[in-house]
Amino acid sequence: MTINISTALNSAILPYASDQKVLTPNKLGILVNEYQVDRSRFQEIAGILKKEGGRLAAEWAADETPLGGDFGVYACYARSDEYVIIKTSVPAANPAFPSLTKYFIPAYRFERQMRSFFGVVPEGHPDMRPWILHEDWPADQYPLRKSFEINSRPPRGNADYRWSRVEGEGVFEIPVGPVHAGIIEPGHFRFQAVGEDILNLEAKLGYVHKGIEKRFETMPLRDGVKLAARISGDSTVAHALAYCMALESMTGCVPCAKSQWIRALLLERERIANHFGDLGALANDAAFTFLFYHFTKLKELLLRANLRLFGHRFMMDVIIPGGVTMDVNQRECEIILSELADMKKEFERLMVIYEENPSFQERIFKTGVLETEMAEALCVVGFAGRASGQILDCRNDFPFGPYESFAVSAPVLHSGDVHARGWVRVMEIRESMKIIEKIIKTLPQDGVTLSSFDNPPAGAEGFSAVEGWRGEIVCWIQAGKDGAINRCMARDPSAVNWLGLETLTKGDIVPDFPLCNKSFNASYSGHDL
Amino acid sequence: MWRILIQMFRTGIVTEPLPQVDESKAVVCGGGMRPSAGKLFKRSVTIRQVDAGSCNGCELEIHAVNNPIYDCERFGVHFAASPRHADMLLVTGPVTRNMEIALKRTYEATPTPKLVVAVGDCAKNGGVFGESYASLGGVGNVIPVDVCISGCPPTPADILSGILKAVDPGDG
């Protein structure tokens, strides 16, 4: 087995690791290694990896008692195309581990979440409030422990949530949500403001927590994709793909080339549809409804084409472990290309109007700035990260199928404002259209076949990283006995990006919040699970 | 400005007649109102949408109901920002434990007579998420429901037809 020790993170860890596992070997030889370390070293290693330029991509726990273990505490770090996982074990009797908050800001919420769901204790964490579970959830009940019965419904307690407070002359508070004014998902926001200026914004999420991670553990590995496809409806293709790639990496299953091409085709179509929708919605929040309606029309045409080609407007449940459920024939390829050409023309006409409208431009330039340093510190991913100088795109860093044969030109801007987050998406639409043309032109001619696989042994692990339209999705699956799921961790980009939105709002004004919010369009469901 | 005008003339009117839908997708399920009450809102029904735990797939299609192709406003269907202004609640998702109280309060804040339409398989019976410590299952487990629209997610035409069916169930 090859071990890639030539890269920075791996070589920095090796001296500290007591055990090593290789997850996800892929064609280009990119391996994801998992290192077992002593828990006393867990924090120290975070510091070392930070120095090497790593970012914290995810942090999670797993109850490994059915596998004969304790609680596993995991952290996944990434540095361009290198992903490593650090694992430590903590016994149920003393489930403490040193907090990573000293080095990585995203650890603040990851660890609050781990504590709420597993009762593992991040020592040195400054904020022990629950996360995702609310304050009325009893403090001694941990839903993701195996001892917790999925259908139990403990009565509500009456604890208070300690909000951060700002006091002083003229300071007032605006509570918003969970039921918002538009057709959007629920969350609660507290603005502290003086006049129009926002001094502080704190979000409380978790309102759409529907127990996805616990539900996974009641499902066979082969069926879990149906649930993964509903982690965040707008990213159904990307989440299903992340799940399947993680499962395939664990079982050694390799989908046929054409399936991989079709998966990429779906991923790019999902990206374009969501970018169309959000560019229109951005214009709508600046009262430029003309563009809004034209973009919704363009999006509708794409969704209808999806329905005709793939049997579903959002292409839900097309990607399954081992391949895809649909083939694309020669005639359909021609239809895709001709519709794409029409769409491109219409899109470019709208973009001239987008750029020429001074009152719209005035609203989006220099609004809601997320500085490059801050984006890096917060480990912001996806188009929001690329609008703030973060060079990352899993299509290049963790490629599969067609992405192995060409590099994606991932646009990066540095101004970090609403305009940049919009403009990165404009450039991504153009790039995705080019990618679709390339995919169609090089699509293998033979029909798709579904690759089969055997159930992995209990304790086997799989990993994947997929660039959904919102950004990097990280998925990690641990097999249970007889093809069951012991743990499935899916980290939506929103889990890290929400903090980006909350941070940039400080210093901006209240009336700009809808624009800032829309420019991120983070998923509540993907975050709350 | 002239580009906007040219684009308008080039595009013309894109609104389509409401397509024929499978009638069985929207089921009248009793709920809290007498069957004819919806007629009070005929040609003018104001909706407050509540996501009680959805994956946001249903929200995408409710957005599409507002696009110029389906143009719900031509049927007098209008979305409002507050339940105080609403005649109907359009509820999606399995109802999560964390949204239970907010949903009940929204229902109470909506003036009587009011209708509740549950959108999507999850709102019908919990869907793929089922019932658990975090999910209370279908909307009917928390507030009375008048019409259920199935689908994952239901299409915009199904949603719009379901809304119109709730307003006029067609039994006189």
- Beta carbons of B133 and A234 less than 8 Å apart: no
Amino acid occupying residue A119: G
Average pLDDT over residues B39-48: 84
| Burial class for A466, CB neighbours closer than 10 Å (0-12, 13-18, 19+) | buried
Q: Which residues of B115-146 are buried (b: 16+ CB within 10 A; e: fewer)?
A: bbbbbbbbbbbbbbbbbbbbbbbbbbebbebb
Looking at residue A113, what is its pLDDT? 96
Q: A300 to chain B: which residues are within 8 Å by CB?
A: 64, 67, 69
A236–B contact, CB cutoff 8 A: yes
Phi, psi of A97 (to 5 degrees): -150, 155
- Beta carbons of B128 and A236 less than 8 Å apart: no
SS3 A172: strand
Q: From the list B96, B152, B155, which residue is nearest A210 (CB)?
A: B96
Residue A166: pLDDT over 50: yes
Residue to test with chain B: of A116, A136, A183, most B Cβ within 10 A:
A183
β-bridge mates for residue B117, sequence order: B90, B147
β-bridge mates for residue A462, sequence order: A477
Average pLDDT over residues A282-296: 94
| Burial class for B4, CB neighbours closer than 10 Å (0-12, 13-18, 19+) | middle
Confidence of residue B34 (pLDDT cuts 50, 70, 90): low
Q: What's the CA gap between B30 and B38, in Å, rounded?
A: 12
Instruction: Count each helix (H run) and each strand (E run) in chain A, helices first.
Output: 17, 15
Q: What confidence tens digit (pLDDT) does each residue in A304-357 have?
A: 999 999 999 999 999 999 999 999 999 999 999 999 999 999 999 999 999 999
Confidence of residue A255 (pLDDT cuts 50, 70, 90): very high
Closest C-alpha among B123, B117, B3, B112 to residue B53: B123
Q: What's the CA gap between A217 and B132, in Å, rounded?
A: 12
Confidence of residue A115 (pLDDT cuts 50, 70, 90): very high
Looking at residue B33, what is its pLDDT? 63
Q: What's the CA gap between A221 and A198, in Å, rounded?
A: 46
A303–B contact, CB cutoff 8 A: yes
Judge contact between A323 and A255, C-beta under 8 A: yes
Looking at residue A112, what is its pLDDT? 96
Q: What's the CA gap between A303 and A297, in Å, rounded?
A: 10
Residue B171: pLDDT over 70: no
Q: What's the CA gap between A12 and A5, in Å, rounded?
A: 9
Q: What's the CA gap between A487 and A476, in Å, rounded?
A: 8
- Beta carbons of B69 and A211 less than 8 Å apart: no
Residue B77: pLDDT over 50: yes
Q: How many CB atoms lie within 10 A of CB A523?
A: 26
Q: What's the CA gap between A83 and A32, in Å, rounded?
A: 6
Looking at residue A497, what is its pLDDT? 95
Confidence of residue A177 (pLDDT cuts 50, 70, 90): confident
- Ranking A14-23, A416-425, A474-483 by mean pLDDT, the lowest is A14-23
Looking at residue B172, what is its pLDDT? 39
Looking at residue A435, what is its pLDDT? 95
CB neighbour list of residue A213: distance below 8 Å, 6 or more residues apart = A117, A144, A487, A488, A489, A490, A529
Residue A3: pLDDT over 50: no
Distances (CA, A) of A116 to A294, A321, B11: 44, 31, 53
- Beta carbons of B68 and A297 less than 8 Å apart: yes
* DSSP-derived pairing of the beta strands A19-23 and A32-36: antiparallel
SS (H, E, C) A16-80: HCCEEEEECCCCCCCCEEEEECCHHHHHHHHHHHHHCCCEEEEEEEEECHHHCCCEEEEEEEEEC
Looking at residue A12, what is its pLDDT? 85
Task: Calculate how close chain B gets to A296, using CA atoms only, in Å.
Answer: 6
Q: What's the CA gap between A52 and A79, in Å, rounded?
A: 8
Looking at residue A13, what is its pLDDT? 85
Looking at residue A8, what is its pLDDT? 82
Q: What's the CA gap between A278 and A340, in Å, rounded?
A: 19
- DSSP characters over A329-365: -HHHHHHHHHHHHHHHHHHHHHHHHHHH-HHHHHHHT
SS (H, E, C) A229-283: CCCCHHHHHHHHHHHHHHHHHHHCCCCCHHHHHHHHHHHHHHHHHHHHHHHHHHH
Judge contact between A248 and A480, C-beta under 8 A: no
Percent of chain A whose predicted confidence (pLDDT) is above 70: 98
Looking at residue A150, what is its pLDDT? 95
Q: What confidence tens digit (pLDDT) does each residue in B110-119 have?
A: 998 899 999 9
CB neighbour list of residue B34: distance below 8 Å, 6 or more residues apart = none
Q: What confidence tens digit (pLDDT) does each residue in A372-411 have?
A: 999 999 999 999 999 999 999 999 888 888 898 888 998 9
| DSSP state, residue A368 | S
Q: What's the CA gap between A64 and A62, in Å, rounded?
A: 6
Judge contact between A320 and A331, C-beta under 8 A: no
Q: What confidence tens digit (pLDDT) does each residue in A22-66 have?
A: 776 555 456 788 899 999 999 999 999 999 999 999 999 999 999
Q: B63 to chain A: which residues are within 8 Å by CB?
A: 183, 277, 296
Phi, psi of A37 (to 5 degrees): -130, 160
Judge contact between B92 and B120, C-beta under 8 A: yes
Looking at residue A2, what is its pLDDT? 38
Looking at residue B136, what is its pLDDT? 97
Q: What's the CA gap between A279 and A428, in Å, rounded?
A: 12
Looking at residue A118, what is its pLDDT? 96
Q: What's the CA gap between A174 and A202, in Å, rounded?
A: 11
SS (H, E, C) chain B: CHHHHHHHHHHCCCCCCCCCCCHHHEEECCCCCCHHHHHHHCCCEEEEEEECCCCCHHHHHHHHHCCCCCCHHHHCEEECCCHHHCCEEEEECCCEHHHHHHHHHHHHHCCCCCEEEEECHHHHHCHHHCCCCCECCCHHHCCCCCEEECCCCCCHHHHHHHHHHHHCCCCC
Confidence of residue B35 (pLDDT cuts 50, 70, 90): low
CA angle centred on A154, ends A149 and A158, rounded to 5°: 150
- Ranking A145-159, A383-397, B44-58, B158-172 by mean pLDDT, the lowest is B158-172
- Tell me what the pLDDT averaged over chain A comes to: 92
Q: What's the CA gap between A59 and A114, in Å, rounded?
A: 8
CB neighbour list of residue B12: distance below 8 Å, 6 or more residues apart = none
Task: Mark which residues 263-282 of A lie under 8 Å from B by CB.
Answer: 277
Residue B27: pLDDT over 90: no
Average pLDDT over residues A460-485: 94
Q: What's the CA gap between B152 and B132, in Å, rounded?
A: 20
- Beta carbons of B129 and A230 less than 8 Å apart: yes
β-bridge mates for residue A200, sequence order: A192
| Stretch (H or E) spanning A174 | strand A171-176
Judge contact between A88 and A36, C-beta under 8 A: yes
β-bridge mates for residue A220, sequence order: A484
SS (H, E, C) A113-149: HHHHHHCCEEECCCCCCCCCCCCCCCCCCCCCCCCCC
Q: Does the N-terminal peptide bond of residue A178 adopt cis geometry, omega within 30 degrees of 0? A: yes
CB neighbour list of residue A252: distance below 8 Å, 6 or more residues apart = A453
Q: What's the CA gap between B1 and A517, in Å, rounded?
A: 28
Q: From the list B50, B59, B64, which residue is nearest A179 (CB)?
A: B50
- Ranking A243-257, A278-292, A370-384, B16-30 by mean pLDDT, the lowest is B16-30
pTM of the model: 0.95
- Beta carbons of B68 and A179 less than 8 Å apart: no
Confidence of residue A81 (pLDDT cuts 50, 70, 90): confident
